């Protein structure tokens, strides 16, 4: 990409130097002009030009014309001397102003020059450099601090992207390896029976299904990171109830206490949030375990709490559970997950100005709490809509 055409060849440092010198020239010229006029006015006053006593006696007998001539000559000489000396002083100070202005401007634009130099060296693999400005806390210092903060965010984003790509590649490698192995083993057996081919195809089908699930989850996660689409009123209680229905009659004991709450947001994303929270609680559970779901409204915020039984989650793993592809101790790919569920929940909650909180369950398992601002009515106050159907289970 070519840099845009530059209209002026003058640098900011030169422009600031010329500005300093120009301001000094204008103010100095105005001051000298005012001083000259004041001196001239003072000398023009009667008796303002004293004469030597001898000259006064010599002209006492009617030499008024001589006195006037002498006064005018003295005034002209004083004004000429003052003007010449002022011009010399003005020229010297102007030169000093140019020199001082040049160095002052250089110090003023140093952070900008450092930013430009640093930015020209940056790349995706070298984001560790920082300006580290230590001068006065002025606007340019704020610019340097802001630039360093931006580099911090970029570095975290690039690191997260690299980790995400590496984890995604690792997750896809396993089912693809299963597919390749099934094909190779079957082809290596010339006398393979129909049942052998069916067995290989079933393994390929399962691996392909896992690839499809992973790809779908990745697309969902990418969808959440593009922000909100259309905003609609979403009945969160109805969403939760719909996703709890498949668990009814199963081996899990489900307890639900739902308050009808409407949230203004993206219906697709909110459905992803609820589905992943519920499926995560059901998937990472114990046989004949329990799932407790509670939906309430707290001071204009919809609060969804889902707690399950299951293996105890180490406290050190809690902050990383919201990271894509991270699984807590005891959770493996064999459970059917990819480590993306809570990452999707966290992204959806953040997109709706909400928050995700993870804490250990009371009897093992995990307690997931999602807080999202509820529907804001025309007055701007958070409101809850009345129940549209019987609640509870």
Domain boundaries, the chain: 12-108, 156-224, 232-373
216: confidence class by pLDDT, cuts 50, 70, 90: confident
Confidence check: pLDDT of 121 > 80: no
Q: Please, are residues 223 and 351 in contact by the beta-carbon 8 Å criterion?
A: no
Phi, psi of 132, rounded to the nearest 5 degrees? 60, 45
Please tell me the least confidently modeled range out of 96-105, 234-243, 316-325, 376-385.
376-385
310 vs 235, residue with greater confidence: 235
Name the most confidently modeled range: 28-32, 61-65, 338-342, 357-361: 357-361
Confidence check: pLDDT of 128 > 90: no
The stretch 30-38 carries a mean pLDDT of 76
286: confidence class by pLDDT, cuts 50, 70, 90: confident
Q: pLDDT, tens digit, for every residue of 325-344? A: 665 554 444 445 556 778 88
Q: Which two tokens stand for residue 201?
A: 């195809």
H, E, C per residue of 237-286: HHHHHHHHHHHCCCCCEEEEEECCCEEEECHHHHHHHHHHHHHHHHHCCC
CA distance 52 to 239: 110
**Nearest Cα residue to 368 out of 319, 306, 310, 313:** 306
171 vs 253, residue with greater confidence: 253
Reply yes or no on domain 232-373 having CATH 1.10.10.10: no
Q: Please, are residues 239 and 271 in contact by the beta-carbon 8 Å criterion?
A: yes
Position 364 scores a pLDDT of: 82
In a 13 Å sphere around the CA of 13, the CA atoms on its Cβ side amount to 14
Confidence check: pLDDT of 385 > 50: no
Confidence check: pLDDT of 389 > 60: no
Report, at the CATH architecture level, how domain 156-224 is classified. Orthogonal Bundle (1.10)
Position 333 scores a pLDDT of: 46
Lookup result for tokens 């089908």: 205
Position 190 scores a pLDDT of: 82
Confidence check: pLDDT of 303 > 90: yes
Confidence check: pLDDT of 119 > 70: yes
Position 307 scores a pLDDT of: 93
Please tell me the least confidently modeled range out of 168-172, 208-212, 359-363.
168-172
Please tell me the least confidently modeled range out of 118-132, 149-163, 341-355.
118-132
CB atoms closer than 10 angstroms to residue 343: 23
The stretch 124-137 carries a mean pLDDT of 73
**Nearest Cα residue to 39 out of 95, 78, 89, 97:** 78
Across the chain, mean pLDDT equals: 76
Position 384 scores a pLDDT of: 39
């Amino acid at each position: 990409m070519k840099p845009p055409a530059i209209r002026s060849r003058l640098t900011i440092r030169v422009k600031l130097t010329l500005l300093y010198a120009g301001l000094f020239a204008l103010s100095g010229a105005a001051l000298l002009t005012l001083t000259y006029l004041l001196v001239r006015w003072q000398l023009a006053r009667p008796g303002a030009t004293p004469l030597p006593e001898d000259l006064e006696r010599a002209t006492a007998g009617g030499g008024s014309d001589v006195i006037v001539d002498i006064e005018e000559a003295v005034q002209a000489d004083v004004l000429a001397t003052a003007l010449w000396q002022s011009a010399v002083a003005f020229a010297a100070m102007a030169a000093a102003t140019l020199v001082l202005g040049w160095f002052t401007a250089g110090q003023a634009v140093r952070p900008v020059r450092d930013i430009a130099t640093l930015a020209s060296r940056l790349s995706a693999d070298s984001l560790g450099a920082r300006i580290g400005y230590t001068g006065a806390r002025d606007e340019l210092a704020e610019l340097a601090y802001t630039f360093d903060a931006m580099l911090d965010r970029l570095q975290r984003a690039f690191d997260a992207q690299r980790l995400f790509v590496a984890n995604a590649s690792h997750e896809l490698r396993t089912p693809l390896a299963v597919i390749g192995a099934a094909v190779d083993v079957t082809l290596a057996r010339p006398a393979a029976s129909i049942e052998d081919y069916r067995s290989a195809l079933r393994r390929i089908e399962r691996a392909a299904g896992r690839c499809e699930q992973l790809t779908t989850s990745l697309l969902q996660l990418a969808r959440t990171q593009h922000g909100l689409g259309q905003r609609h009123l979403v009945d969160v209680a109805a969403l939760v109830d719909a996703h709890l229905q498949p668990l009814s009659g199963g081996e899990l004991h489900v307890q639900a206490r739902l308050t009808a709450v409407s949230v203004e947001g993206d219906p697709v994303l909110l459905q992803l949030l609820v589905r992943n929270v519920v499926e995560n609680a059901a998937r990472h559970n114990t046989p004949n375990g329990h799932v407790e779901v509670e939906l309430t409204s707290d001071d204009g915020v919809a609060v969804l709490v889902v707690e399950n039984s299951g293996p105890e989650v180490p406290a050190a793993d809690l902050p990383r559970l919201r990271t894509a592809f991270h699984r807590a101790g005891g959770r493996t790919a064999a459970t059917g997950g990819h480590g993306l569920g809570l990452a999707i929940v966290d992204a959806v909650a953040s997109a709706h100005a909400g928050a995700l909180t993870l804490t250990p369950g009371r009897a093992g398992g995990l307690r997931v709490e999602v807080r999202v601002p509820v529907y804001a009515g025309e007055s701007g106050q958070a409101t809850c809509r009345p129940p549209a159907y019987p609640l509870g289970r």
